[in-house]
Amino acid sequence: MPPSSRDTFPNAFEAAFLVACLFAVEFLIGAALYDARSVLGMHPNDLMDLASVLGNGLLLTGVMHWSGMSYGSLFHPAKSSPRAVMGMLALPILCVVPALTLGITAIEVGVVALFPISRSDAEMFERMTSGGLISILMTCLVAPVVEEMLFRGVILRSFLRQYQRWPAILGTALLFGLVHMNIYQCVAAFITGTLMGWLYERTRSLWPSILLHASYNSAVMFGPDADSALSSVHWLLILVLAVAGTVMLRRLLLPRTA
């Protein structure tokens, strides 16, 4: 039986439209929350984070309702249990996060050299990494869940039914980068989005990509900044962990047929 239109929603054009809708929904929610900031008693930065999460959640709810998708099929359509998948992959994923964070930080330094960052953007990033409890919870816990549900659980899942593996993964990663709306976060989101997409394609489970997403966001928020000097011991430890984690991921996931 050929797949229905709901099984192949969204295609590339529809996914781009969803991202445009996400911008609009986040803007409207953000404007409403900003007008109510005195009543809510929240910092403007927390309001922005909340608007982003609510926008993703609202759009995701609408898409899932239209497609008739259940949360179980969204999070883990694989035959193996979530516990078995995470039992195998949690350690190697956590091992590669420190090197991934430092590598992306180095790339961002090059991007800033090519495209000097404005004062307003610099202040925005400073606020993002020094937020309050609400901002930390949104960035490190809630956002990774709802964003992975939309970009990997809905968009990439549909792309893999319609396109070749790598165009589907890279296309989803590009959309994930563009939704951050600035060149600096776009680069980081594209790189992490590619790795998270590969994890989803290999496992057909959102839990590994959620773990990587949450771990990376936490490392950015709480880890050393680009100006911090690491000792040779730290560099060696990070390198050993990265190699070990990469080897484990390759052995666990590459034998799987596409």
Write out the chain's pLDDT in tens, 258 residues. 445 567 788 999 999 999 999 999 999 998 888 877 777 777 777 778 888 889 998 999 999 888 888 888 899 988 889 999 999 999 999 999 999 999 999 998 898 888 888 777 777 677 666 667 778 888 899 999 999 999 999 999 999 999 999 999 999 999 999 998 888 889 999 999 999 999 999 999 999 999 999 999 999 988 776 666 788 898 999 999 999 999 999 999 986 544
Buried b (16+ CB within 10 A) or exposed e, 61-83: eebbeebebeeeebbbebeeebe
Q: Establish if 192 belongs to a structural domain.
A: yes
Q: Is residue 48 part of a domain?
A: yes
Q: Give the pLDDT confidence score for residue 215 in this predicted structure.
A: 97
Residue 249 is assigned to a structural domain of this protein: yes
- Evaluate whether residue 5 is within a structural domain: no
pTM, two decimals, is: 0.91
155 occurs within a structural domain:
yes
104 within a domain of the structure (yes/no)? yes
Query: Cα(173)–Cα(191) distance, rounded to whole angstroms?
Result: 7
Query: Which residue range is the domain that position 124 belongs to?
Result: 12-253
Q: Percent helix, strand, coil in the chain (nearest 5)?
A: 80, 0, 20
Classify residue 238: in a domain, yes or no: yes
Domain membership flag for residue 26: yes
Total domain count, the chain = 1
